[in-house]
Structure 1
Amino acid sequence: MLVLPTELTHATATACCRMLAQALRSDPAGHAVADASALRQFDSSALAVLLECRREALALGKTFSVAQLPPRLRELAGLYGVGELLPPAA
C-alpha cells in the first residue's frame, strides 16, 4: 500500500513522487494501491503524483487503484478528464 501524506501540494509533490516510486519498485505485489485517506490539504499536484504512480506501476507490470480518494480530488480528476485513470480500490 502506497500511503499519501496529509499534505500534497506543489511544494511537496517531487519528494512524494520519489518516495512512492521507490516504494513501488521495492514491493513485489502485482497490484499497487495508493491510500489517499490521510490527504487533507492538496492541490492539482496530488493528481499529478497519482498519475505518475499509475504510470510507474504500469511500467512495472502492475495494476493500479486508489483507496479513499477525497471527494474534492475525485471532482478535480473528473474536471481534468483523468478520473477513469484513477480507479477506486475494491
Structure 2
Amino acid sequence: MLVLPAQLTHDEAPACARMLAQALRTQGQSHAVADASALQQFDSSALAVLLDCRREALAQGKSFAVANMPKRLRELATVYGVADLLVPAAA
C-alpha cells in the first residue's frame, strides 16, 4: 500500500509524487492502492499527486485505487471533475 503523508500541500507535492512513483516501481503487485487516511492538511496538490500516481500505475499496467479518502478531498475531486478517476479501494 502507498501511504500519503499527514501534510500534502503545494510545497510537499513534488517530493511525495517522486516517493510514490518510486514505491510503485518497486512494488510487485498488479493493483496499487494509495492510503489517504493520514491526510490532515492538504490542498488541491493532493489530487495532483494522486492523479500522477494513478497515471504511473496505469503506465506500469497496474490498476489504481484510493483508500480512506477524507471527505474534503472527495469533495475537491468532485469540484475539479476528477472524482471518477480516483476510484475508492474495495473495503
| Alpha-carbon RMSD | 0.3
| SS of equivalent residue, structure 2 residue 11 | helix
Write the mapping of 1:24-43 to structure 2, written as runs, cut at 5 A.
24-43=24-43
Query: Which residue in the other structure is 2:22 paired with?
Result: 22
Where has structure 1 moved over 2 Å in runs of 4 or more? none
Measured in 2, the distance between the counterparts of 1:13 and 1:80 equals: 17
Measured in 1, the distance between the counterparts of 2:15 and 2:54 equals: 16
Query: Which residue in the other structure is 2:5 paired with?
Result: 5
The aligned amino acid for 1:41 is: Q
Measured in 1, the distance between the counterparts of 2:79 and 2:55 equals: 20
Please give the TM-score of this superposition, normalised by the length of structure 1: 0.99
Write the mapping of 1:1-90 to structure 2, written as runs, cut at 5 A.
1-90=1-90
For structure 1, the residue ranges without an aligned partner over 5 or more in a row are none
Q: Displacement, 1:54?
A: 0.1
Q: Displacement, 1:55?
A: 0.0
Identity within the alignment, %: 73
**Number of equivalent positions:** 90
Measured in 1, the distance between the counterparts of 2:59 and 2:8 equals: 23
Q: Deviations over 1:48-89 (max 9, x none)?
A: 000000000000000000000000000000000000000000
The aligned amino acid for 1:3 is: V
